[in-house]
Amino acid sequence: MKLWQKIFLYTLILVMLAVGVTSILLLKNSFSMALDQKKQGVYNEHEFAVAGFKSMMVTERLKENAVVLDEKALAGFMEEAFGEEGGGGIVFFNSDGGQVYANKRMDFPEGLLGAARKSGKSYMQVYQNQMYVASSESIEGKTYYVVTGHDISEVVAMHEDMLKRILAVSMGCAMGIAFVLLILVKILLHPLQKINEGTRAIAAGSYRERIPETGKDELSELAHNMNQMAEAVETNVRALEDVAENRKQFIDNLSHEMKTPLTSILGFADLLQIQKDVSEEHRMEYAGIIKEEAARLRALSGKLMELITVGQASLEYRREDMGRLFEEIGASLKMVADSHKIAFSCHSEPGELRVERELFKSLLYNLVDNAVKASEEGGSIRVEGRFADGQFQAIVEDEGVGIPEEEIGKIVQAFYMVDKARSRANGGAGLGLALCREIVSLHHGTMRFFSRLGEGTRVLIAIPADPEGGKP
């Protein structure tokens, strides 16, 4: 059963119960009031009949000039006074319970006389649409029990008629309420239907689907939360797709980068194996090519292992003095720059920064290595460190060939090379900047590139300074 059907059915049942119970209670109260009025009227008639009979009996005794009327005369007088044509029934009993007179046959309950005798006053009881009143009366010096009966079937019939009317009205009201309730439930739950349709579409893969947000009730809030969830799912799915695409591109590039040196190695190895009369000059040439390509593979595998394992090993972050660390890095890299006849400077402001020493050194080594490959003889490379605005900034600047503006956003991708021929000639595989990006990310920093063709490249790395160990 659907939610709107449950709400409709349960609400309708509750409304019908409320209307029915309220109507029955009102009817019961009305019937009780009518019955109380009838009881009072019947009691008054009983008292009036008994009092009138006693008064007439006194008159009759005076008329007959008798001191006391005997039971036979009394019965005759009762016949004259009440007769069978009277509207209500009346019965006289003597103290022994014997019937003295009855103008009608009445089937009153057996315990009526006993209750009147026990209470010593008037006693009333309803039995089979009849209302009976019994009282103990002293007549002519003797105790008599008088029972009067009155028909209340009219009141009962009116009650039953009103009950039927109320039931009919209740059913009519229930049908009207059901119709209005059905429309209201449909209108109120219409947004829920939209949410259901939207979530079904999202579950089917339409992550751009959004649910209309109308009003300020709980359903609108639910729609807003569902839209946020859909947006998060869409973002995560897009991220997963990007990861899958990047992974595929990474594997394709890796296969391509390994295919070229392997082909060269296998080809020249076959030549050395097949050709028996290889000259010493050709043998040295072939062996040199095999050595160069093997070196490329070794460099490629080394960079790849660094990229894969960075951040997975147990890293030790310590506060390092940047001035000393830059001196150490500069001493190691100056020989590389000198071998390419490139001017090189490396220095930093003194002050401590919490870093992973080996990763930070690898970061600067890779950036300087790229700068060397991009520079010509006679160029210069500058590495500088400074504390500013709660950050430590490391700058690597060269006067090399530069990077096209449209390529800057792609250079940190694995295996991406702006000038593939130049990079391969220098033994590059396009993994250095990807590794640098991971190292900077592990230090919660940022890395930005500023470059123009023919004017060199400037790399700016910003790492948050340790509030306890950084430069004041």
Q: Torsion-angle region of residue 389: left (phi > 0), alpha (psi -120 to 50) or beta?
A: left
- 112, 140, 160 - which closes a domain: 160
Inside any domain, residue 341: yes
DSSP 439-459: HHHHTT-EEEEEEETTTEEEE
pLDDT tens per residue, range 44-65: 888 888 888 888 777 777 777 7
Place of tokens 């951040």: 311
Structure confidence by residue, pLDDT tens digits, 237-268: 888 887 777 666 656 555 655 665 677 778 77
Same domain, 154 and 20: yes
CATH code at 402?
A: 3.30.565.10
423 or 216: whose pLDDT is higher?
216
Q: Which amino acid is at 441?
A: S
3-state secondary structure labels for all residues of 269-314: HHHHHHCCCCCHHHHHHHHHHHHHHHHHHHHHHHHHHHHHHCCCCC
Query: Sorting pLDDT into bands at 50, 70 and 90, what band is 345?
Result: very high
The answer to the question of residue 403 being in a domain is yes
Residue 8 confidence (pLDDT) above 70: yes
57: nearest Cα among 138, 133, 123: 138
Average pLDDT over residues 334-343: 87
Q: How far is CA 94 from CA 51, 77, 98, 105, 451, in A?
A: 18, 15, 5, 17, 133
Over residues 284-298, the pLDDT tens digits come to 887 887 887 777 667
- The whole domain housing 127 covers 3-160
Please tell me which residue, 205 or 370, carries the higher pLDDT value: 370
Average pLDDT over residues 228-236: 82
Q: Tell me the pLDDT band of 470, cut-offs 50, 70 and 90.
A: very low
Q: Is the pLDDT of residue 342 over 70?
A: yes
In a domain, 177, yes or no: no
Structure confidence at residue 472 (pLDDT): 31
Model-level pTM?
Answer: 0.44
Q: Are residues 11 and 144 in the same domain?
A: yes
Q: Are residues 341 and 299 in the same domain?
A: no
Using one digit for the tens of pLDDT, what is the confidence trace for 347-367?
999 999 998 887 888 888 888
Q: Which residue has the higher pLDDT, 336 or 462?
A: 462
Mean pLDDT (whole number) for 397-402: 88
pLDDT at 277 over 90: no
> Both 298 and 315 in a single domain?
no
Same domain, 94 and 235: no
Same domain, 344 and 423: yes
Structure tokens at 109: 């309950």
Asked if residue 429 is part of any domain, the answer here is yes
> Which pLDDT band, with edges at 50, 70 and 90, does 416 fall under?
low
High-pLDDT (> 90) share of the chain, %: 10
Same domain, 223 and 140: no
| Interatomic CA distance for residues 291 and 288, integer angstroms | 5
Task: Kindly state whether residues 11 and 154 are assigned to the same domain.
Answer: yes
187 domain residue, yes or no: no
Q: Which of 256, 283, 307 is the last residue of a domain?
A: 307
Average pLDDT value over all residues in the chain: 78
Can you tell me which residue has the tokens 């007179």? 101
Q: Cβ(402)–Cβ(454) under 8 Å?
A: yes
Q: What is the pLDDT of residue 432?
A: 64
pLDDT (0 to 100) of residue 419: 47
Cβ–Cβ under 8 Å, residues 348 and 322: yes
Domain count, the chain: 3
pLDDT at 346: 93
* Greater model confidence, 270 or 299: 270
The amino acid present at 321, given as its one-letter code, is D
Residue ending a domain, among 286, 307, 328, is 307
CATH number at residue 294: 1.10.287
Provide the pLDDT for residue 322. Answer: 92
Q: How confident is the model at residue 386 (pLDDT cuts 50, 70, 90)?
A: very high
Q: Check residue 126 and give its pLDDT.
A: 85
- Is 190 among the domain residues? no
Pairing outcome for strands 343-348 and 380-388: parallel
Report the pLDDT value the prediction gives residue 314, as an integer from 0 to 100: 62
- Give the Å distances, CA to CA, from 460 to 364, 384, 395, 409: 11, 10, 5, 14
Q: What is the pLDDT of residues 113-138, one digit of tens each?
A: 888 888 777 888 888 888 889 988 88
Quick one: 289 and 330 in the same domain? no
Q: Let me know whether 295 and 314 are in one domain.
A: no
Q: How far is CA 260 from CA 168, 239, 253, 267, 424, in A?
A: 94, 31, 11, 11, 10
CB-based contact 385:326 (threshold 8 Å): yes
Read off the CATH number of the domain in which 19 is found: 3.30.450.20
- What pLDDT does residue 344 have? 92
CA distances from 215 to 211, 212, 221, 305, 430 (A): 13, 10, 9, 56, 54
Is 185 among the domain residues? no
Report yes or no on 90 lying in a domain.
yes
Do 382 and 413 lie in one domain? The reply is yes
**Confidence check: pLDDT of 429 > 50:** no
Q: In terms of C-beta distances under 8 Å and separation of at least 24 residues, what long-range contacts does 16-25 make, across chains too?
A: 16/170, 16/174, 16/177, 19/170, 19/173, 19/174, 19/177, 20/170, 23/166, 23/169, 23/170, 24/163, 24/166
Q: What's the whole-number mean pLDDT along residues 7-33?
A: 82
Residues 132 and 216 in one domain: no
